[in-house]
């Protein structure tokens, strides 16, 4: 979980393009992979008492390259700023998740690449190292990348808030 990092840092990866996109739709895109995959994973855990053979973690459909390519196709076909913003936000989400893994490393069974390149690396998504939301939060809180991203994201969002407030 990396909410402030995804919403604060993610749009900065788009440089000047972020100013041309609707901010609310961009923020939605920055969070969309997690908004799809985390409830899906935890819902399966609650309903079945264990992870599914395919959905064995909190990075699955929403973190897949297929999902991103479908969004990109929709953006190209519809040519609507909102769809472009969501697509751009998802791209930054995936980029930050991949960067985190490149910096912090991951076990091959939990690698983000299993989701991003699904099904090229096999018909499976990454397995979670946790089975509860609290355990997920505890593991995330021990990640220097996640903590630094949350702090930086919060600082960016607070600075933007104060700048908007002063200019109005």
For the segment 11-54, what is each residue's pLDDT rounded down to a tens digit?
A: 999 999 999 999 999 999 999 999 999 999 999 988 887 777 78
Nearest-10 crossing angle of helices 133-141, 144-167: 90
Which pLDDT belongs to residue 1? 58
Domain count, the chain: 1
Most distant pair of Cα atoms in the chain: their distance? 52
30 burial type by CB count under 10 A (0-12 exposed, 13-18 middle, 19+ buried): buried
Find, among 89, 104, 79, 80, the residue nearest to 14 by Cα: 89
* Buried/exposed code over 123-149 (b: 16+ C-beta within 10 A; e: otherwise): ebbbbbebeeeeebeeeeeeeebbeeb
Reading the block at residue 133, the tokens are 């939301």
Range of the domain at 17: 3-167
Which pLDDT belongs to residue 168? 78
């Amino acid at each position: 979980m990396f909410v402030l990092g995804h919403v604060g840092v993610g749009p900065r990866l788009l440089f000047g393009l972020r100013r041309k996109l609707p901010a609310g739709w961009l923020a939605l895109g920055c969070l969309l992979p997690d908004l799809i995959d985390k409830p899906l994973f935890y819902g399966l855990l609650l309903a079945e008492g264990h992870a599914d053979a395919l959905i064995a973690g909190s990075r699955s459909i929403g973190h897949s390259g297929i999902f991103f390519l479908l969004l990109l196709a929709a953006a190209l076909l519809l040519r609507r700023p909102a769809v472009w913003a969501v697509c751009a936000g998802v791209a930054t989400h995936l980029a930050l998740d991949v960067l985190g893994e490149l910096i912090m490393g991951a076990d091959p069974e939990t690698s983000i690449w299993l989701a991003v390149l699904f099904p090229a690396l096999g018909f499976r998504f990454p397995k979670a190292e946790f089975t509860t939301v609290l355990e997920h939060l505890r593991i995330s809180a021990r990640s220097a990348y996640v903590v630094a991203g949350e702090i930086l994201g919060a600082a960016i969002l607070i600075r933007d808030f104060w700048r908007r407030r002063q200019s109005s």
